[in-house]
Amino acid sequence: MLIRDMKRPPDPTARAGLGVAFGLLAIVVAVELADGAEANYIGLLAAAPFLAAAFASWRDVLLVGGVATAVGVGFAVADQAGSLTARVINVVGIVVATTIAGLVGSVRQRQTEKLAEMSKLASVAQQAVLRPIGGQVGSLVIAGRYISATAVADIGGDLYEALDTPFGMRMVIGDVRGKGLDAVRLASTVLGSYRHVAYERDDLLDLVADLDRAVARAVGDEDFVTAAFVEERGGSITIVNCGHPAPLLLRRGEVIPLEPASNSPPLGFKPDACPRIERLEPGDRLLFYTDGLAEARRDGQFFPTAERAWGLLGHGNVSDGLVSLESALVEWVRGRLDDDIALVLMEYVGATARPATVNVPSWELGTAD
């Protein structure tokens, strides 16, 4: 434990707490010196270890308490005119306060470490479910980004995956109703099923039907998953939208919302989606996102995604574009997001020759990712 604590980098909050505690000690000392020979204010020194306990470790609390006790003893010994009983009670009070503050600091430190460990485990769990995507997949260069609404743990039900299949590039982006471990569990179910059937189903609508049944088996009557499915073949892109925000097409300075031909319920409610097919041009970019972006607001005003999309996403590579979008969004909401956000930006680079062999998932070959 001691070795681990010594290796832990200094916490700015703990340093600030120590600074405030020692600042209080300095103020009390200055007041006592200005007041004269009698020790009238040494009882205030008991507040210093409690200030430290709110921010620092128990060892730091004991350090502050030890200094406070030493200062109190010094003033008590120097005071020959005041009541001895009062001086003893004040010094004992500092010792008792230090002991209590040390216990409080120890409990707080254990809770902080437990929370940090849980946050780390949650992040690892999410990373195991939501694998990073990026690079070129088929004729598209793709980047994905996950933005957590909380700094405590990157955990939620937003999901995405892009695969190079025998039927072209296939991508899914979705948003599970709810949050926490239940949402991650359902997201894992959706992604696990998708990673299998994406290589098996020639028809994108059959793939959607398979995932709808998987969701229906895994959730209750009020749970669902909004999702958009994408397939690129030979320069044409097919989008099947199941209750998900419409993607944006960025083409020659214009931003075009790709609204579905008809509204469809999300997965879990037997969606009857109508595919939308678009012919792509080299340089076209498509932004897919979850509800967190559509609902991000400041003072009642929604983030103007469509209006700012070209300026934020039309430069550099696709990864640069997502970084710009995230920065602008966080600035707009003043750092306060209400929901997690999944973003996928893809750019069509033109037709590429497809391999003659059939691609299969790496886990079927028994190879590492």
Point out the residues of the chain with pLDDT beneath 70: 1-11, 37, 80-82, 118-129, 150-156, 180, 220-221, 351-369
- Number of Cβ within a 10 Å radius of residue 309: 22
Q: With a threshold of 0.75, does the pTM exceed it?
A: no
Q: Is the dihedral of CA 357, 237, 363, 143 positive or negative?
A: positive
In angstroms, the CA 106 to CA 126 distance is: 30
Supply the pLDDT for residue 354. 46
80-83 contacts: CB < 8 A, separation 24 or more?
80/37, 81/37, 81/38, 82/38, 82/39, 82/40
DSSP state of 57: -
Q: Which two tokens stand for residue 121?
A: 């485990």
pLDDT in tens, 26-49: 888 888 788 776 777 778 888 888
CB 52 within 8 A of CB 22: no
The SS3 assignment for 158 reads: strand
Residue 124 has what pLDDT? 62
Q: How many Å apart are CA 206 and CA 271, to the nearest integer?
A: 11
pLDDT per position as a tens digit, 273-312: 889 999 999 999 999 999 999 889 888 899 999 999 999 9
- H or E element that contains 361: none
What's the pLDDT score for residue 363? Answer: 40
| Per-residue pLDDT, 84 | 78
pLDDT score recorded for residue 134: 85
- pLDDT at position 77 is 81
How would you classify residue 87: left for phi > 0, otherwise alpha for psi between -120 and 50, otherwise beta?
Answer: alpha
Q: DSSP state, 220?
A: -
- What pLDDT score was predicted for residue 356? 37
